[in-house]
Structure 1
Amino acid sequence: MTDITAVELKERLTQNTSPVIIDVRETWENEESHIPGSRNIPLGDLPGKLQELDDLHDQEVVVHCKGGSRSAAAKAFLQQQGFTHVRNLIGGFQAYEKA
């Protein structure tokens, strides 16, 4: 599945058609500011939290971090675990704030 732009994600949020959003930044980064409705699971914690995400294997999931590197790793990891509709937020939270 192709990645998603910040503009597209913001449009989806306003239309209430938003995917599941997972913020893979550290907890302190998420506490400073975050995308409404997102779920914070730091990248290092993701392998241990997989069972909490079992019901999302076939749902659209958007992962994001600050700039896109950690979320690219999260996307690859989730795809390896059988998640079929994972998208990375292009430019990360920085792009989202500017959009």
Structure 2
Amino acid sequence: MAFLLGLSLLLTAFSSIVTAAELDSKVAWQKISAGALVIDVRTAEEFAQGHLPDSINIPYQQINQAFKQQNIAKDRSVVVYCRSGNRSGIADKMLESAGFTNVYNGGGYQTLMMAKD
């Protein structure tokens, strides 16, 4: 029982490390500079208030359907972002579950803007 509890704590700590690493703004900007498709998964109203240059607005609830309709390649480099990283994290997982292999959670809009060169 103690072993399972220890393993559970270890896995929780590891998943937090992976999440923190994924939210590295510098990595997101490197991917964007290399040609990644940039998707803002916030609402249309949030997008209208400000967004990253050349980003496309697809609310996270619609992302799988939109990618399928637009016939986006499963190996296309994609950076998703939102206000804080939560909705983009959901979108990231949704796309990965649909077979997309090169999706990166860029985190929050303000954080990305502050990290821009």
**Is TM-score (shorter-chain normalized) higher than 0.5?**
yes
Instruction: Quote the residue 2:111 is aligned against.
Output: 95
Structure 1 residues 9 and 18: CA distance shift in structure 2, 3 A? farther
Tell which deviates more after alignment, 54-63 or 25-34: 54-63
- Name the one with the larger helix percent: 2
Deviations 1:23-64 (A, max 9, x none): 100001111111111110011222432323432311111111
TM-score by length of structure 1 reads 0.81
- Tell me how large the CA RMSD over aligned residues is: 2.0
Higher relative contact order (CA 8 A, sep 6+): 1
Q: Equivalents in 1 of 2:34, 2:95: separation in Å?
A: 22
Q: Equivalents in 2 of 1:64, 1:36: separation in Å?
A: 12
Structure 1 residues 53 and 4: CA distance shift in structure 2, 3 A? farther
Q: Does 1:85 align with 2:102?
A: yes
Instruction: Quote the residue 2:78 is aligned against.
Output: 61
TM-score by length of structure 2 reads 0.70
Instruction: Quote the residue 1:73 is aligned against.
Output: 90
